[in-house]
A and B are shown apart, each in its own frame.
Chain A
Amino acid sequence: MTGKTKLVQTSFFIPLYEDNDVGNGRLHPATRWIQFQRKLYVNFRAWTLAPGNYKGSYKDPDTGLEVVDLSRKYILAVPKKELRKLKGFLKEEGIIFRQKYIYFEVAGKVELLKVNYEKIL
Protein backbone atom coordinates (compact mmCIF):
# COMPACT_ATOMS: atom_id res chain seq x y z
CA MET A 1 0.00 0.00 0.00
CA THR A 2 1.35 3.38 -0.96
CA GLY A 3 -1.41 5.24 0.85
CA LYS A 4 -2.22 7.18 -2.31
CA THR A 5 -5.75 7.12 -3.63
CA LYS A 6 -6.01 5.93 -7.18
CA LEU A 7 -7.84 8.52 -9.27
CA VAL A 8 -9.65 7.88 -12.50
CA GLN A 9 -10.41 10.53 -15.05
CA THR A 10 -14.01 10.86 -15.98
CA SER A 11 -15.88 13.27 -18.18
CA PHE A 12 -19.51 13.99 -18.73
CA PHE A 13 -21.53 16.25 -20.98
CA ILE A 14 -24.30 18.54 -19.87
CA PRO A 15 -26.32 19.85 -22.82
CA LEU A 16 -26.92 23.60 -23.01
CA TYR A 17 -30.58 23.02 -23.82
CA GLU A 18 -33.37 21.10 -22.09
CA ASP A 19 -34.45 17.87 -23.71
CA ASN A 20 -37.49 18.42 -25.92
CA ASP A 21 -39.45 15.53 -24.39
CA VAL A 22 -38.63 15.95 -20.73
CA GLY A 23 -38.34 19.73 -20.80
CA ASN A 24 -39.11 22.52 -23.20
CA GLY A 25 -35.98 22.63 -25.34
CA ARG A 26 -34.95 26.05 -24.01
CA LEU A 27 -31.49 27.12 -22.87
CA HIS A 28 -30.96 26.46 -19.18
CA PRO A 29 -31.28 29.48 -16.94
CA ALA A 30 -28.04 30.54 -15.26
CA THR A 31 -29.46 29.58 -11.86
CA ARG A 32 -29.38 25.89 -12.83
CA TRP A 33 -25.68 25.94 -13.60
CA ILE A 34 -25.03 27.80 -10.37
CA GLN A 35 -26.94 25.22 -8.35
CA PHE A 36 -25.33 22.30 -10.15
CA GLN A 37 -21.78 23.56 -9.72
CA ARG A 38 -22.31 24.24 -6.03
CA LYS A 39 -23.46 20.66 -5.55
CA LEU A 40 -20.64 19.35 -7.70
CA TYR A 41 -18.14 21.20 -5.53
CA VAL A 42 -19.69 20.00 -2.28
CA ASN A 43 -19.57 16.40 -3.49
CA PHE A 44 -16.36 16.28 -5.53
CA ARG A 45 -14.52 19.51 -4.70
CA ALA A 46 -13.59 20.73 -8.16
CA TRP A 47 -14.14 20.47 -11.87
CA THR A 48 -12.46 21.36 -15.13
CA LEU A 49 -14.39 22.44 -18.16
CA ALA A 50 -13.18 21.80 -21.67
CA PRO A 51 -13.07 25.05 -23.67
CA GLY A 52 -15.92 25.70 -26.07
CA ASN A 53 -18.93 23.53 -26.67
CA TYR A 54 -19.18 19.95 -27.74
CA LYS A 55 -21.58 18.96 -30.44
CA GLY A 56 -22.62 15.40 -29.95
CA SER A 57 -25.28 12.96 -30.94
CA TYR A 58 -26.64 9.75 -29.58
CA LYS A 59 -29.52 7.42 -30.29
CA ASP A 60 -32.28 7.88 -27.75
CA PRO A 61 -32.97 4.31 -26.56
CA ASP A 62 -36.60 5.29 -25.80
CA THR A 63 -37.51 6.71 -29.19
CA GLY A 64 -34.80 5.27 -31.40
CA LEU A 65 -34.26 8.77 -32.77
CA GLU A 66 -30.93 10.52 -33.14
CA VAL A 67 -30.55 13.32 -30.58
CA VAL A 68 -28.11 16.09 -31.44
CA ASP A 69 -27.02 18.45 -28.72
CA LEU A 70 -24.49 21.07 -27.76
CA SER A 71 -22.88 20.51 -24.38
CA ARG A 72 -20.43 21.66 -21.75
CA LYS A 73 -17.84 18.99 -21.11
CA TYR A 74 -16.87 18.52 -17.47
CA ILE A 75 -13.70 16.66 -16.63
CA LEU A 76 -13.33 15.23 -13.18
CA ALA A 77 -10.72 13.05 -11.54
CA VAL A 78 -12.28 10.99 -8.77
CA PRO A 79 -11.10 8.16 -6.54
CA LYS A 80 -12.09 4.89 -8.17
CA LYS A 81 -14.28 4.04 -5.19
CA GLU A 82 -16.32 7.22 -5.80
CA LEU A 83 -17.30 6.35 -9.36
CA ARG A 84 -20.61 4.95 -8.27
CA LYS A 85 -21.31 8.07 -6.22
CA LEU A 86 -20.56 10.29 -9.22
CA LYS A 87 -22.85 8.30 -11.49
CA GLY A 88 -25.62 8.42 -8.92
CA PHE A 89 -25.09 12.13 -8.51
CA LEU A 90 -25.42 12.73 -12.26
CA LYS A 91 -28.55 10.60 -12.52
CA GLU A 92 -30.16 12.75 -9.85
CA GLU A 93 -28.82 16.12 -10.93
CA GLY A 94 -29.63 15.47 -14.57
CA ILE A 95 -33.21 16.09 -13.48
CA ILE A 96 -32.68 19.80 -12.99
CA PHE A 97 -31.31 19.99 -16.53
CA ARG A 98 -34.38 18.17 -17.83
CA GLN A 99 -32.38 15.44 -19.56
CA LYS A 100 -33.15 11.79 -20.25
CA TYR A 101 -29.53 10.68 -20.38
CA ILE A 102 -26.13 12.01 -19.40
CA TYR A 103 -23.23 11.00 -21.63
CA PHE A 104 -20.52 9.75 -19.29
CA GLU A 105 -17.01 8.55 -20.04
CA VAL A 106 -14.56 6.76 -17.82
CA ALA A 107 -11.22 5.47 -19.07
CA GLY A 108 -12.42 5.65 -22.66
CA LYS A 109 -15.58 3.69 -21.93
CA VAL A 110 -18.84 5.45 -22.69
CA GLU A 111 -22.04 5.05 -20.74
CA LEU A 112 -25.39 6.73 -21.15
CA LEU A 113 -26.58 7.35 -17.63
CA LYS A 114 -30.35 7.24 -17.41
CA VAL A 115 -31.59 10.26 -15.51
CA ASN A 116 -34.34 9.66 -12.97
CA TYR A 117 -36.55 12.17 -14.68
CA GLU A 118 -39.78 10.17 -14.43
CA LYS A 119 -40.02 10.94 -10.75
CA ILE A 120 -40.65 14.64 -11.32
CA LEU A 121 -43.43 14.17 -13.85
Chain B
Amino acid sequence: MKKFYETLENKKIDIKALFEQDHEFLEKVKKYYYKKPDWNVFSNYWLKEGQKIWGGKQKREVVNLPVFLICQDLEMRLGIEQGKTRLPDYRDELVALIDKEFDSHYQFCRKAGIAQDTLSRILNKRREPSLTMLRIILDALGCKISFQKKHRL
Protein backbone atom coordinates (compact mmCIF):
# COMPACT_ATOMS: atom_id res chain seq x y z
CA MET B 1 0.00 0.00 0.00
CA LYS B 2 1.29 3.46 -0.89
CA LYS B 3 2.22 5.62 2.07
CA PHE B 4 1.49 8.94 0.38
CA TYR B 5 -1.08 10.26 -2.03
CA GLU B 6 0.42 12.89 -4.30
CA THR B 7 -2.00 15.45 -5.69
CA LEU B 8 -1.86 17.29 -9.01
CA GLU B 9 -0.70 20.29 -6.99
CA ASN B 10 2.27 18.26 -5.72
CA LYS B 11 0.96 17.99 -2.20
CA LYS B 12 1.93 14.78 -0.48
CA ILE B 13 -0.77 13.43 1.81
CA ASP B 14 0.18 10.88 4.42
CA ILE B 15 -2.47 8.20 3.95
CA LYS B 16 -1.30 6.13 6.89
CA ALA B 17 -2.13 8.99 9.25
CA LEU B 18 -5.82 8.94 8.31
CA PHE B 19 -8.49 7.72 10.69
CA GLU B 20 -10.14 4.39 9.99
CA GLN B 21 -13.38 6.16 9.11
CA ASP B 22 -11.52 8.22 6.50
CA HIS B 23 -9.91 5.08 5.06
CA GLU B 24 -13.28 3.45 4.64
CA PHE B 25 -14.67 6.58 3.04
CA LEU B 26 -11.73 6.83 0.65
CA GLU B 27 -11.97 3.19 -0.34
CA LYS B 28 -15.61 3.72 -1.23
CA VAL B 29 -14.85 6.87 -3.22
CA LYS B 30 -11.93 5.24 -5.02
CA LYS B 31 -14.04 2.25 -5.94
CA TYR B 32 -16.49 4.62 -7.60
CA TYR B 33 -13.65 6.58 -9.21
CA TYR B 34 -12.37 3.44 -10.96
CA LYS B 35 -15.75 3.07 -12.64
CA LYS B 36 -14.86 6.32 -14.40
CA PRO B 37 -18.11 8.23 -13.94
CA ASP B 38 -18.71 11.69 -15.40
CA TRP B 39 -16.59 14.11 -13.33
CA ASN B 40 -19.68 16.11 -12.31
CA VAL B 41 -21.48 13.00 -11.12
CA PHE B 42 -18.36 11.97 -9.22
CA SER B 43 -18.20 15.41 -7.61
CA ASN B 44 -21.75 15.01 -6.28
CA TYR B 45 -20.97 11.52 -5.03
CA TRP B 46 -17.90 12.30 -2.94
CA LEU B 47 -19.37 15.50 -1.57
CA LYS B 48 -22.59 13.81 -0.49
CA GLU B 49 -20.77 10.86 1.07
CA GLY B 50 -18.23 13.16 2.66
CA GLN B 51 -20.90 15.27 4.33
CA LYS B 52 -21.82 12.20 6.34
CA ILE B 53 -18.42 12.14 8.03
CA TRP B 54 -17.43 15.80 8.13
CA GLY B 55 -20.82 17.50 8.13
CA GLY B 56 -20.46 18.80 11.67
CA LYS B 57 -17.02 20.31 11.21
CA GLN B 58 -16.21 23.94 10.47
CA LYS B 59 -16.22 24.72 6.75
CA ARG B 60 -12.65 26.02 6.72
CA GLU B 61 -11.53 22.89 8.48
CA VAL B 62 -13.33 20.64 6.00
CA VAL B 63 -11.62 22.07 2.91
CA ASN B 64 -8.25 21.31 4.46
CA LEU B 65 -9.08 17.72 5.41
CA PRO B 66 -6.78 15.26 3.63
CA VAL B 67 -9.80 13.30 2.39
CA PHE B 68 -11.40 16.45 0.95
CA LEU B 69 -8.17 17.24 -0.91
CA ILE B 70 -7.88 13.70 -2.24
CA CYS B 71 -11.50 13.68 -3.42
CA GLN B 72 -11.06 16.97 -5.23
CA ASP B 73 -7.91 15.64 -6.81
CA LEU B 74 -9.63 12.48 -8.01
CA GLU B 75 -12.42 14.60 -9.49
CA MET B 76 -9.86 16.64 -11.40
CA ARG B 77 -8.11 13.52 -12.66
CA LEU B 78 -11.43 12.38 -14.10
CA GLY B 79 -11.96 15.82 -15.61
CA ILE B 80 -8.56 15.66 -17.29
CA GLU B 81 -9.20 12.17 -18.63
CA GLN B 82 -12.55 13.33 -19.97
CA GLY B 83 -11.05 16.40 -21.63
CA LYS B 84 -12.94 18.86 -19.42
CA THR B 85 -9.94 20.38 -17.69
CA ARG B 86 -6.18 20.05 -17.96
CA LEU B 87 -2.99 19.83 -16.00
CA PRO B 88 -1.75 23.28 -15.03
CA ASP B 89 1.37 24.59 -16.77
CA TYR B 90 3.83 27.30 -15.79
CA ARG B 91 1.61 29.99 -17.33
CA ASP B 92 -1.25 29.06 -15.03
CA GLU B 93 1.08 29.24 -12.06
CA LEU B 94 2.27 32.67 -13.15
CA VAL B 95 -1.31 33.94 -13.52
CA ALA B 96 -2.27 32.56 -10.11
CA LEU B 97 0.78 34.15 -8.47
CA ILE B 98 0.25 37.52 -10.13
CA ASP B 99 -3.46 37.51 -9.19
CA LYS B 100 -2.56 36.64 -5.62
CA GLU B 101 0.24 39.16 -5.13
CA PHE B 102 -0.93 42.12 -7.23
CA ASP B 103 -4.16 44.02 -7.70
CA SER B 104 -3.74 44.12 -11.46
CA HIS B 105 -1.45 43.02 -14.27
CA TYR B 106 -0.65 46.67 -14.81
CA GLN B 107 0.73 46.96 -11.30
CA PHE B 108 2.74 43.81 -11.72
CA CYS B 109 4.24 44.96 -15.02
CA ARG B 110 5.26 48.25 -13.46
CA LYS B 111 7.09 46.43 -10.70
CA ALA B 112 8.73 43.95 -13.08
CA GLY B 113 9.59 46.70 -15.56
CA ILE B 114 8.08 44.89 -18.51
CA ALA B 115 5.45 45.96 -21.04
CA GLN B 116 1.91 44.79 -20.37
CA ASP B 117 1.71 43.57 -23.92
CA THR B 118 4.73 41.33 -23.34
CA LEU B 119 3.12 39.75 -20.30
CA SER B 120 -0.14 39.33 -22.17
CA ARG B 121 1.59 37.57 -25.06
CA ILE B 122 3.33 35.19 -22.68
CA LEU B 123 0.22 34.40 -20.69
CA ASN B 124 -1.90 33.97 -23.80
CA LYS B 125 0.59 31.53 -25.32
CA ARG B 126 1.52 33.82 -28.18
CA ARG B 127 5.10 34.07 -27.03
CA GLU B 128 7.57 31.82 -25.20
CA PRO B 129 9.55 33.84 -22.67
CA SER B 130 13.33 33.72 -22.77
CA LEU B 131 15.07 32.50 -19.64
CA THR B 132 16.08 36.08 -18.87
CA MET B 133 12.48 37.28 -19.19
CA LEU B 134 11.26 34.45 -17.00
CA ARG B 135 13.80 35.42 -14.34
CA ILE B 136 12.64 39.05 -14.46
CA ILE B 137 9.04 37.94 -13.99
CA LEU B 138 9.89 35.54 -11.19
CA ASP B 139 12.08 38.10 -9.41
CA ALA B 140 9.16 40.52 -9.30
CA LEU B 141 7.10 37.75 -7.73
CA GLY B 142 9.82 36.82 -5.27
CA CYS B 143 10.08 33.34 -6.78
CA LYS B 144 12.79 31.21 -8.34
CA ILE B 145 12.91 28.36 -10.81
CA SER B 146 12.86 24.87 -9.40
CA PHE B 147 12.22 21.43 -10.82
CA GLN B 148 9.67 18.82 -9.96
CA LYS B 149 8.67 15.46 -11.32
CA LYS B 150 6.07 15.35 -14.04
CA HIS B 151 2.65 13.99 -13.18
CA ARG B 152 1.52 10.62 -14.38
CA LEU B 153 -2.26 10.41 -14.42
Contact = CB atoms under 8 A, between A and B. Distances in A.
Interface of A: 16, 23-24, 26-35, 37-38, 41-43, 45-53, 72, 95-96, 119-121
Interface of B: 8-9, 38, 40-41, 43-44, 47, 51, 59-60, 62-63, 72-73, 75-76, 79-80, 83-89, 92, 96, 99, 103-106, 123-125
A28 to B, nearest CB: 6
Q: Is the interface of B mostly helix, strand, loop or mixed?
A: helix
A27 to B, nearest CB: 5
A81 B123 CA distance: 39
Contact of B125 (A26, A48, A51): A26
A31 B51 contact: no
6 contacts: A24-B124, A27-B83, A28-B85, A30-B87, A47-B47, A121-B104
Contact of B8 (A23, A26, A30): A30
